[in-house]
Structure 1
Amino acid sequence: MTDDPLAWLVSLEGVPSAYAAARDGIDVLLRDRGLRRTSPETTAESLLRGAHASAVLEGSGSTLEEVREGAGDPIAQDALRLSTELLGLAPLLSRAPLQAFARMHAVAARGSVAEDRLGRPRDGESAARLRDVAALLTSDTEAPALLVAAVVHADLVSVAPFPSHNGIVARATERLVLVARGVDAKSLVVPEAGHLANRAAYESNLRGYAGGTRNGVHSWLLYAPEGYAAGAEASPLRS
């Protein structure tokens, strides 16, 4: 019997190879294309692209150029505001994920919900389920970091613990897991853009995951590496 809460997911058919391939692709991108010419500006561009993609998935109609110019709609502005503070939360996500979740929501939802609701779960059940998600991030799991990111992302969307901006927080957390666990320390991959490029599959598989069936969870886990591969292609290192 194992105490690893994600061990059963790693054993599902096709999952280990899919995540190994996705990680190899990211490593090749960062090693061959990034290390010699990475700059803070490249990271900022990746975060900008991610904010735009996440906002569109949340219902924004703004273009990337509008967001780049600071003229996006409120959803885009919320996602962009979170992106500017996100990387500073990586240490907090590792040691106190509940605080990191609360801070991400407070930043993204500022001006959209009442001050006393910023960073606070909707109700007791949401708070309990959010603690379960946080426990995954502090568990002693041997699951690949990409799989941890995918599970936490889908869990946050499914739980929808906050009164607003749950998708934006979930996708920001996914990116932050990749930073905190050393997959993409400089945050140059754009997973949000990968999901936008595969929007129909992304949204369909999230719904399947939320249904809680083994097949639904399995399908999400097989989809997510495709999103990460597309996110690597969307990196500014490819420009």
Structure 2
Amino acid sequence: MRQLLSEVLAHPQVSAAVATTRVAVDEAIGHRALRAHGPTLALESSLRGARASAAADGVDITVEFLRSGNVRLDHPGRPIVQAALRLAQEVPVVENIWRRSPVQALARLHVVAAADDEVLRAAPDAAAVGRPRDAQSAQLLQALAQWIATDSTTPAIVMAAIAHGQIAAEQPFGTRDALVARAVERLVVRTRGLDPRGICITETGHALIGRTAYQQALAEFRTGTVQATVDWVVHCAESISAGAREIVAVADALIAD
């Protein structure tokens, strides 16, 4: 991991992506609309992030439809949409836990994501909710949590991308892992100081490329090669940039009204 990370950080594509994304995020978090509409923009980011995260899992509904609350009980994508919404609401709540114990926060996020998973909760070992599915998965989460807790030099964008990729690709919980992974990406960006108010919609780009391309990118990331990791980090950086531009457009509209 250390050697791979060193090579990824030294790659010019990563350096360029990190720099470009920082500019986009700085524009978003410095927008003058935040002075009067900060809470509104944070809520809008959360809602749009949930919509994009659900879309990355194949449930693509409009933000207007989601805002209306009219997702029917019999809608086939309702469980994913509801899980994405719960996670979006949980990110700011779990922030302090994440700072103290990332592994505990990861468990909490999975409990939230799987709250309505009847199959999982009906299993003989219902306590498995919030716990890794096997010893190898437990080791992965412990190593990831240790890295996040002790590494103070890796840029937030790179850390968020790798944390997202590892959880989504390796599926340590066995259910709703990708939803948890995208929540973790937002959490890292928030707690590492890049976007402390959680304004940017980090999930935007994952929805924009479509579920098939997203899954292919994850499959490549799972190979563990330097170039595959670089490509994944660049994609995640572009996703954050797209989310920053999206919230800037929302902020501009608020001022214009």
Asked if these proteins are the same fold (TM beyond 0.5), I'd say yes
* Structural mapping, 1:81-160, within 5 Å: 81-112=86-117, 113-114=120-121, 115-160=126-171
Q: Which residue in 1 is equivalent to 2:175?
A: 164
Letter in 2 for 1:171: R
Q: Which residue in 2 is equivalent to 1:42?
A: 41
In 1, distance between residues paired with 2:170 and 2:105?
16
Residues 12 and 218 in structure 1, CA contact (< 8 A), matched pair in contact too? yes
For structure 1, list consecutive stretches of 5 or more residues without a partner in the other structure: none
Tell me the CA shift for residue 62 of structure 1: 3.6
Tell me the CA shift for residue 59 of structure 1: 2.5
Tell me the CA shift for residue 4 of structure 1: 8.9
For structure 2, list consecutive stretches of 5 or more residues without a partner in the other structure: 72-77
Tell me the CA shift for residue 95 of structure 1: 1.8
Deviates more, 1:11-20 or 1:120-129: 11-20
| Structure 1 residue 209 corresponds to structure 2 residue 197 | no
What count of residue pairs does the alignment treat as equivalent?
237
Residues 6 and 141 in structure 1, CA contact (< 8 A), matched pair in contact too? no
In 2, distance between residues paired with 1:8 and 1:62?
39
Higher relative contact order (CA 8 A, sep 6+): 2
Residues 91/4 of structure 1: CA separation in 2 closer, same or farther (3 Å cut) = farther
Letter in 1 for 2:251: L
Residues 132/5 of structure 1: CA separation in 2 closer, same or farther (3 Å cut) = farther
Whose radius of gyration is greater, 1 or 2?
2
Residues 13 and 230 in structure 2, CA contact (< 8 A), matched pair in contact too? no
In 2, distance between residues paired with 1:61 and 1:5?
34
Q: Secondary structure at the match of 2:35?
A: coil
In 2, distance between residues paired with 1:39 and 1:110?
30
Q: Secondary structure at the match of 1:191?
A: coil
Residues 142/119 of structure 1: CA separation in 2 closer, same or farther (3 Å cut) = same
In 1, distance between residues paired with 2:36 and 2:158?
28
Q: Per-residue displacement from partner, 1:135-155 (whole Å, max 9, x unpaired)? A: 221123412111111111111
C-alpha RMSD of matched pairs (Å): 2.0
Residues 39/192 of structure 1: CA separation in 2 closer, same or farther (3 Å cut) = same
Tell me the CA shift for residue 34 of structure 1: 4.3
Q: Per-residue displacement from partner, 1:16-54 (whole Å, max 9, x unpaired)? A: 122011111110222134433332222111101111111
Q: Which residue in 2 is equivalent to 1:222?
A: 234
Letter in 1 for 2:143: D
Q: Per-residue displacement from partner, 1:153-185 (whole Å, max 9, x unpaired)? A: 111112211121101000000001111111111
Deviates more, 1:63-72 or 1:135-144: 63-72
